[in-house]
């Protein structure tokens, strides 16, 4: 049973930084979403342990949030406790092994630039992905024909019961934008990547710069979005299918299929999550009608929505 907010004595119990009724629009790249009943930004492992224990005592559901760059959060918000990893920071380079270990809340672009400044190869692809390390492991984020799974050596996590676990690449069972974490509730706390150290700093910097320049010239980075909305089906690129269906610039409310890149749905100012979901659904319907191909969303829905959800068949 989920307790009502009033039933919890907030003042006495938490020993970690806890906030109530926080707008999640400020914590998602779409800039939409209602409020979290409870919200915490842990800074230490004891904050994490205390927050998970607190949620367990009060029988509250827990949601993990990184940079919120692959999420559509309901306008009605989220029940329970949202644990946001953004304050979990730290990067360590091991010169002997060529391994980089980063805390869950480190932004991927930071890692890419830090590695490039040392001349270490292996994360140039990540420079344009505005997510965290934890979100990248969860999603097997990738770009430029590379992905998290290519260099991830291991991740550390914590279960809802507070047990520390080590996750090997085998256990993470990565495939295209998927990991085993998508079917279990576990928080990634840090991850270790195998990189290739070298002294060609200028070249690695130039490749990293080229990766971000290429994306900025082809994708609508100037407007709030979640990146690619749909996974690419095996036969075609999702963006190409949407564009060929004539859906560029299609708009519902303040959500629009980007005229710059058809696999992006952008918030042109004041969109609701419902606008975005209705547009996603409309794109799915129209692409299916024309091509008999069902586009599967890459973006993840959090919370309850009125009306139709994503089409799954
Ligand atoms: C402009 C733009 C461009 C993008 N380009 C790309 C791209 O090229 N390639 C690509 O793959 N993605 C891309 N994305 C999508 C997004 O950045 C990635 O999916 C990223 O990995 C999500 O990380 P996040 O920290 O934002 O996760 P969130 O969006 O916060 O969360 C995503 C999921 O991961 C879970 N999660 C987050 N952190 C943790 C954790 N520590 N432990 C357990 N679960 C966790 C959440 O519960 C949620 O289910 C883009 C997004 C934008 C806005």
Pick the last residue of a domain from 84, 113, 144.
84
CA of 8 relative to ligand 1 center, distance in Å: 31
Q: Read off the CATH number of the domain in which 143 is found.
A: 3.30.465.10
Asked about 298 being catalytic, the answer comes back as: yes
Both 162 and 178 in one domain: the answer is yes
Q: What is the 3-state secondary structure (H, E, C) of the chain?
A: CCCCHHHCCCCCCCCCCEEEEEEHHHHCCCCCCCEEEEEECCCCHHHHHHHHHHHHHCCCCEEEECCCCCEEECCCCEEEEEEECCCCCCEEEECCCCEEEEECCCEHHHHHHHHHHHCCECCHHHHHCCCEHHHHHHHCCEECCEEHHHHEEEEEEEECCCCEEEECHHHHCCECCECHHHHCCEEEEEEEEECECCCCHHHHHHHHHHHHHHHHHHCCCCCCCCCECECCCCCCCHHHHHHHCCCCCCEECCEEECCCCCCEEEECCCCCHHHHHHHHHHHHHHHHHHHCCCCCECCEEECCCCCCCCCCC
**How high is the pLDDT of residue 24?**
98
Q: Answer yes or no: do 117 and 202 share one domain.
A: yes
Q: What is the mean pLDDT of the chain?
A: 94
The yes-or-no verdict on residue 155 having pLDDT over 60 is yes
Assess whether 71 and 147 both reside in one domain: no
Same domain? 80 vs 105: no
Query: 130, 136, 164, 266: which to mutate for ligand 1, most atoms within 8 A of CB?
Result: 130
Whether residues 116 and 204 share a domain: the answer is: yes
CA of 67 to the centre of ligand 1 (A): 7
Mutate to test the pocket of ligand 1, among 24, 31, 40, 69 (most ligand atoms within 8 A of CB): 69
Between 312 and 220, where is the model more confident?
A: 220
139, 207: one domain? yes
* Co-location of 212 and 231 in the same domain: no
Domain with residue 20: its CATH number is 3.30.43.10
- Summarised one tens digit per residue, pLDDT across range 38-74 is 999 999 999 999 999 999 999 999 999 999 999 999 9
Task: Please report the pLDDT score of residue 306 as a whole number.
Answer: 80
Same domain, 133 and 169: yes
Question: pLDDT band for position 308 (50/70/90)?
Answer: low
| Pair 104, 187 in one domain | yes
| pLDDT at 1 (0 to 100) | 39
Residue 89 appears among annotated catalytic residues: no
As for how many domains the chain has, the answer is: 3
Say whether both 175 and 136 belong to one domain: yes
pLDDT for position 305:
87
User: Is 256 found in the same domain as 197?
Assistant: no
Look up the domain containing 288 and give its range: 221-313
Q: How confident is the model at residue 205 (pLDDT cuts 50, 70, 90)?
A: very high
What the block records as the tokens of 286 is 């129209």
CATH code of the domain containing 227: 3.90.78.10
Given 218, 247, 282, which residue is the final one in a domain? 218
- pLDDT at residue 310, rounded to an integer: 79
Nearest CA to ligand 1 atom 3: 227
For residue 102 and ligand 1, the question of a CB distance below 6 A is answered with: no
* Whether residue 177 lies in the annotated active site: yes
pLDDT over 60 at 117, yes or no: yes
Considering the entire predicted model, what is its pTM?
0.95
Question: What pLDDT is recorded for position 4?
Answer: 46
| Confidence bin at 15 (pLDDT 50/70/90) | confident
- Residues 129 and 40 occupy one common structural domain: no
Q: Look at residues 84, 101, 131 and tell me which one is the last residue of a structural domain.
A: 84
pLDDT band at 14 (very low <50, low <70, confident <90, very high): confident
**Pocket flag, ligand 1, residue 70 (CB < 6 Å):** yes
């Amino acid at each position: 049973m989920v307790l009502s907010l009033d039933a919890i004595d907030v003042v006495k119990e938490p020993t970690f930084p806890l906030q109530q009724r926080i707008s999640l629009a400020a914590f998602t790249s779409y800039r939409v979403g209602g409020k979290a009943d409870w919200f915490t930004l842990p800074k230490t492992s004891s904050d994490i342990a205390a927050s998970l224990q607190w949620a367990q005592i009060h029988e509250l559901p827990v949601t993990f949030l990184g940079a919120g760059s692959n999420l559509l959060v309901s306008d009605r918000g989220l029940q329970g406790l949202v644990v946001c990893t953004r304050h979990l920071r730290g990067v360590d380079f091991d010169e002997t092994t060529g391994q980089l270990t980063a805390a869950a809340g480190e932004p991927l672009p930071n890692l890419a630039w830090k590695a490039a400044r040392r001349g270490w190869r292996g994360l140039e692809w990540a420079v344009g992905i505005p997510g965290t390390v934890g979100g990248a492991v969860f999603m097997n984020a990738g770009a430029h024909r590379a992905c998290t799974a290519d260099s991830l050596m291991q991740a550390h996590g914590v279960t809802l019961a507070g047990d520390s676990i080590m996750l090997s690449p085998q256990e993470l069972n990565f495939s295209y934008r998927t990991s085993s974490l998508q079917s279990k509730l576990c928080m990634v706390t840090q991850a270790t990547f195998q990189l290739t150290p070298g002294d060609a700093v200028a070249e690695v910097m130039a490749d990293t710069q080229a990766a971000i320049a290429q994306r900025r010239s082809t994708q609508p980075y100037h407007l709030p979005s979640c990146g690619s909305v749909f996974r690419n089906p095996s036969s075609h690129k999702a963006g190409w299918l949407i564009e060929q269906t004539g859906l560029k610039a299609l708009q519902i409310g303040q959500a629009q299929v980007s005229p710059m890149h058809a696999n992006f749905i952008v918030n042109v100012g004041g969109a609701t999550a419902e606008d975005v979901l209705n547009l996603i659904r409309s794109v799915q319907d129209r692409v299916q009608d024309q091509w008999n191909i069902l586009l599967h969303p890459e973006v993840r829905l959090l919370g309850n929505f009125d009306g139709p959800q994503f089409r799954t068949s």
